[in-house]
Structure 1
């Protein structure tokens, strides 16, 4: 079962706003307030955004840029990772680290890499140390990969050397990876944004998985058909409601989606 085209359009547009590559003027959405109180006039680039002259392309598919990728080994990250980056967009780039669900591995959600990179955003897909790692273990490993991503801006052999804006780094996660992202939305210093897909926190030990100490704009997706322990039972709703006042947040529920419909943005 796949989310419909309307969902595909919204997920792309919302995600690009959340990562700061689009200003909120690009969408007619009262649910996504500007993160900068001194909002720029229409047509001008907000002080807190990365803006390019190119049109972003269709939100229901890949964007206007080509993309490339390279691998990071288990010596560099907990379980290995793949870095997708724009091939022909003007740097600096913002970046995201995507953490997988329980028993999940990179190929299950690899489509997100070219999607983000083609819209001008670096995305790292990661494997965990083992596919059975807990929410809390995934959160710690996500922190490590976030640090590694920032380090790619300075590593001599990195294709991204000097091309990253390390102040614009975010976290993404599916299921238990979403729970890990909720933890780091409270704990990871300098995180810019967070996005969860059918997030799971019922098995998490860290209380920050509940959302009460979230510090960054957060985008939560869930499926109306996800009614189990995996990602249902009000987990995403509960985090959304717990996020402190003043922190921008969006909750988007897809009527046709269940827990396993998040391997692709389209």
Structure 2
């Protein structure tokens, strides 16, 4: 049978060609309209995740870093910014991380490149003094976010509507203070947090509380657990208690902390539901997890 030109509709022809090329192994995602995650969610960054990818020491992005002197900023003590080197994917969400009592940014530096390589701009900061209390550290986290998004040389790489905070020990207590003060934050992750204020019903930011079963500095019974329980029941929240861990476990590279922090930040800063699978159903106790609580499925 002789076919007239244009007998087939263009969509049908495109579908036929795509199927043929895919079968031949010639069609990559670059050829498929809307194949990039931005088609459904403009904030998704990086390839589809797997257990291997979130447990890896590095993600898919090459990372650069730049130092920020305390002399050139106000409201906090300077720090180091880690960020995806390429600008091909547009802007990224940003996270500021504060250290604990008597500690410097070096104590949480491992999180910088590990999180940045997954598609975030990450700022590990020093505080004004090593003795600053949680309320002060909370204000410093916000000051650092403001510097990062308004003044820094990397501000054009950041989506100012997608920001989060993390911190260890008193920096973890400061993380809750920051989330309480700035309800527009998209994610908060206190790491073995310390704060004499144990009630946080004002928090509106999705919060992952990470405690440690062997913590004698900020025991979970008097810190992390009350923090979690006091968060609103309607809030997307979770409580991860590390097994066989201490107050200082977050100061060294830790796969469990990294994989759930990455998943939480991706899920709530990037609204990337591809990471929901690692948070819901709730992770079960294991060699590294003593307990995990949370509300599933997440609603944000």
Same fold (TM over 0.5): yes
Deviation >2 Å, runs of 4+: 43-49, 52-57, 228-234
Corresponding residue of 1:50: 43
Instruction: Tell me how far apart the structure 1 counterparts of residues 182 and 69 of structure 2 sit (CA, whole Å).
Output: 23
Q: Aligned pair in 2 of structure 1 residues 223, 51: CA closer, same or farther (>3 Å)? A: same
Contact kept in structure 2, 1:178 and 1:195, CA below 8 Å: yes
**RMSD after superposition:** 2.2
List per-residue Cα deviations over 1:219-247 (Å, max 9, x = no partner): 01111111x34344331110111111211
Paired position in structure 2 for 1:172: 166
Partner of 1:79: 77
The structure number with the bigger radius of gyration is: 2
Distance 1:241 1:46 in 2: 37
| Offset at residue 88 of structure 1 (A) | 2.6
Give the counterpart of 2:201 among 203, 212, 230.
Answer: 212
- Corresponding residue for 2:62? 66
Q: Cα distance 1:161–1:142, how it changes in 2: closer, same or farther (>3 A)?
A: closer
What is the match of residue 6 of structure 1? none
Distance 1:200 1:87 in 2: 34
Pick from 169, 187, 206 the counterpart of residue 193 of structure 1: 187
Equivalence map 1:1-266=2 (5 Å): 50-52=43-45, 54-56=47-49, 58-60=53-55, 61-74=57-70, 75-77=72-74, 78-88=76-86, 90-152=89-151, 155=152, 158=153, 160-202=154-196, 210-226=199-215, 228-263=216-251, 264-266=253-255
Pairs aligned (count): 213
Alpha-carbon distance, 1:188 to partner: 1.5
How far has the Cα of 1:95 moved from its partner? 0.5
Q: Distance in 1 between matches of 2:160 and 2:93?
A: 7
User: How far apart are residue 102 of structure 1 and its match?
Assistant: 0.2
| CA deviation string 1:123-160 (max 9, x = no partner) | 100001110111111112112111112214xx5xx1x2
Q: Which runs of no fewer than 5 residues in structure 1 stay unpaired?
A: 1-42
TM-score (ref. length: structure 1): 0.74
- Partners of 2:184 and 2:39 in 1: CA distance: 19
Aligned mates of 2:42, 2:188 — CA distance in 1: 16
Q: Match for residue 16 of structure 1?
A: none
Gaps of 5+ in 2: 1-35, 256-300
Does structure 2 conserve the Cα–Cα contact (< 8 Å) formed by 1:79 and 1:129?
yes
Counterparts in 2 of 1:167 and 1:72: CA distance versus 1, 3 Å: same
Structure 1 124/222 Cα, relative in aligned 2: closer, same or farther at 3 Å? Answer: same
* Structure number having the greater helix percentage: 2
Task: Tell me which residue corresponds to 2:263.
Answer: none
Q: Which has the higher contact order (CA 8 A, sep 6+)?
A: 1
TM-score by length of 2: 0.66
Distance 1:63 1:191 in 2: 24
